[in-house]
C-alpha cells in the first residue's frame, strides 16, 4: 500500500470550507498546521500550534495506559523522538471530524511508515534497511484553549487499536511504495 500524506488534509480542508464559526475555523486551521508540521518533521512549527503546557494521554492495548507527554518540555522530546526515528510519514484517513468550542474529535485510520531500523530497536524481527507500514484505528480528542480565534491545541487524548507496531500488524513495503515519501 502506498500512503499519500497529502490525503490527510482532505477532510480537514473540506470542513474548513464548510465552517462559518470563526473559533471553529481557527481550531481547524491550527489542527491542519499541526498535522502538516508533523508530516514535515518541523519541530518549531508543530510546537507553535501547541499551548504552553500541553498534556497527552494515550490509550492502547500493549502500551502504557495514560502515557504521553504531560508538559511542554516532554512534548518537545516526544516529537523530536518521532522525527529522529523517522515515523512521522503518515496518512490519516478521517471518517468523522467533530468540532465544538473546546474540542476537535477525529476518528479514522492512521497509516504510518516505520523505518525497519526503528522497529528493530523496538525488538521486532524485521530487516533494518526496509520500511514497514503500520495501520491502526484511531480516535483522537484534541482539546483547545485560548480566547476567540487565538487558539492552541492543549494536547491529545488518543485511543488506538492496535497500539504499538507488532510483527503481526506491520507489512513490509517495496521501494515503489516509499519512493518520494521517505
- What pTM, to 2 d.p., does this model score? 0.94
Query: What's the CA gap between 92 and 97, in Å, rounded?
Result: 12
* Residue 161 pLDDT greater than 70, yes or no: yes
The residues that bridge with 20 in the sheet, in sequence order, are none
What one-character-per-residue DSSP string does 103-121 give? EEEEEEEEEEEEEHHHHHH
Structural domains of the chain, with CATH: 5-178 (3.10.450.50)
pLDDT tens sequence across 17-67: 999 999 999 999 999 999 999 999 999 999 999 999 999 999 988 766 678
In this predicted model, what pLDDT tens digit does every residue of 78-127 receive, in sequence order? 999 999 999 999 999 999 999 999 999 999 999 999 999 999 999 999 99
Amino acid at each position: 500500500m502506498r500512503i499519500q500524506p497529502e490525503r490527510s488534509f482532505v477532510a480537514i480542508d473540506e470542513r474548513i470550507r464548510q465552517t462559518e464559526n470563526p473559533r471553529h475555523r481557527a481550531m481547524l486551521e491550527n489542527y491542519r498546521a499541526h498535522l502538516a508540521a508533523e508530516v514535515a518533521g518541523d519541530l518549531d512549527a508543530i510546537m507553535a500550534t501547541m499551548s504552553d503546557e500541553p498534556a497527552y494521554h494515550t490509550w492502547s492495548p500493549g502500551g502504557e495506559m495514560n502515557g504521553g507527554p504531560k508538559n511542554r518540555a516532554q512534548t518537545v522530546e516526544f516529537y523530536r523522538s518521532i522525527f529522529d526515528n523517522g515515523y512521522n510519514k503518515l496518512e490519516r484517513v478521517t471518517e468523522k471530524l467533530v468540532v465544538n468550542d473546546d474540542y476537535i474529535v477525529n476518528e479514522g485510520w492512521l497509516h504510518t511508515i516505520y523505518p525497519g531500523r526503528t522497529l528493530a530497536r523496538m525488538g521486532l524481527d524485521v530487516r533494518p534497511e526496509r520500511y514497514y507500514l503500520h495501520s491502526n484505528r484511531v480516535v483522537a480528542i484534541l482539546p483547545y484553549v485560548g480566547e476567540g480565534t487565538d487558539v492552541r491545541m492543549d494536547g491529545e487524548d488518543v485511543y488506538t487499536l492496535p497500539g504499538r507496531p507488532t510483527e503481526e500488524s506491520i507489512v513490509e513495503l517495496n521501494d515503489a511504495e516509499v519512493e518520494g515519501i521517505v
